[in-house]
């Protein structure tokens, strides 16, 4: 378990699958992601089984939970993937699927916790992400956690009937200011 002030990150459980299916079939949630086709519970179950084969140091999907009173509520997922052992780099991904929890700082705190996990537990040197230029909410949350813009991949993602520009953002271990920054 990776625990912050209002967010904790845990391994995903089979019981989470129905929530995952609901979130990734919600057009508003996936609007700024590369997902663009309907997904069934059965497809998600197969995906879940494949995740169990992964060694955590080679990439792991984590469930995001936030504190509500005395309870922890599951609101989304985040992960590192494409972890490269020679380059010590990894791509970060995040989805807060429960829209009730958007714009409450959950994305920012999750991103900060994942930077700490990536640098201090996984010994990463460069953590990067791809985000659509139109995803202002995401860009703001990532910048608040320490990511900087590296450049733009022009018309790199076909989504919502358009070729969309994609921003590459990253944080290097040497410039990371620690969790509380």
Ligand X SMILES: CC(C)(COP(=O)(O)OP(=O)(O)OC[C@H]1O[C@@H](n2cnc3c(N)ncnc32)[C@H](O)[C@@H]1OP(=O)(O)O)[C@@H](O)C(=O)NCCC(=O)NCCS
Instruction: Give the one residue of 9, 24, 90, 94 binding ligand X; rule: CB under 6 A.
Output: 94
Segment lying near ligand X (by CB under 6 A), choices 28-36, 41-49, 63-71, 162-170: 28-36
Applying CB under 6 A, does 136 fall inside the site for ligand X? yes
- Helices and strands in the chain: count of H runs, count of E runs: 4, 8
Least distance from ligand X to the Cβ atom of residue 108, Å = 3
Applying CB under 6 A, does 106 fall inside the site for ligand X? yes
Alpha carbons 93 and 32: distance in angstroms, whole number? 12
Least distance from ligand X to the Cβ atom of residue 29, Å = 5
Q: Phi, psi at residue 151, to the nearest 5°?
A: 165, -175
Applying CB under 6 A, does 135 fall inside the site for ligand X? yes
Applying CB under 6 A, does 6 fall inside the site for ligand X? no
Which stretches does DSSP call E strand in the chain? 2-3, 7-11, 60-68, 71-84, 89-96, 126-132, 148-159, 162-172
- Is 53 or 100 the residue whose CB approaches ligand X more closely? 100
Give 9's Cβ-side CA count (13 Å radius): 24
Applying CB under 6 A, does 104 fall inside the site for ligand X? yes
Task: Single out the residue of 134, 137, 51, 60 nearest to residue 91, CA to CA.
Answer: 60
Applying CB under 6 A, does 12 fall inside the site for ligand X? no
Applying CB under 6 A, does 32 fall inside the site for ligand X? yes
Instruction: Give the one residue of 88, 108, 126, 173 binding ligand X; rule: CB under 6 A.
Output: 108
Alpha carbons 4 and 47: distance in angstroms, whole number? 28
In the complex, which residues of this chain contact ligand X (CB under 6 A)? 29, 32-33, 76, 94-96, 102-108, 131, 135-138, 140-141
């Amino acid at each position: 378990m990776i625990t912050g002030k209002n967010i904790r990150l845990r391994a995903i459980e089979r019981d989470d699958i129905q929530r995952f299916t609901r979130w990734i079939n919600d057009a508003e949630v996936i609007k700024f992601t590369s997902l663009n086709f309907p997904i069934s519970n059965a497809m998600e179950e197969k995906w879940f089984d494949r995740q169990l084969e992964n060694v955590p140091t080679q990439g792991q999907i984590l469930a995001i939970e936030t504190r509500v009173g005395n309870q922890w509520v599951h609101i989304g997922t985040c992960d590192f993937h494409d972890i490269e052992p020679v380059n010590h780099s990894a791509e970060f991904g995040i989805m807060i699927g429960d829209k009730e929890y958007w714009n409450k700082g959950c994305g920012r705190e999750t991103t900060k916790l994942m930077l700490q996990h990536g640098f201090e537990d996984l010994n990463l040197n460069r953590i990067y992400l791809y985000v659509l230029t139109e995803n202002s909410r995401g860009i703001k949350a990532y910048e608040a956690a320490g990511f900087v813009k590296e450049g733009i991949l022009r018309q790199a993602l076909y989504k919502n009937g358009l070729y969309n520009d994609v921003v590459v953002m990253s944080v290097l271990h040497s410039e990371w200011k620690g969790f509380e920054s």
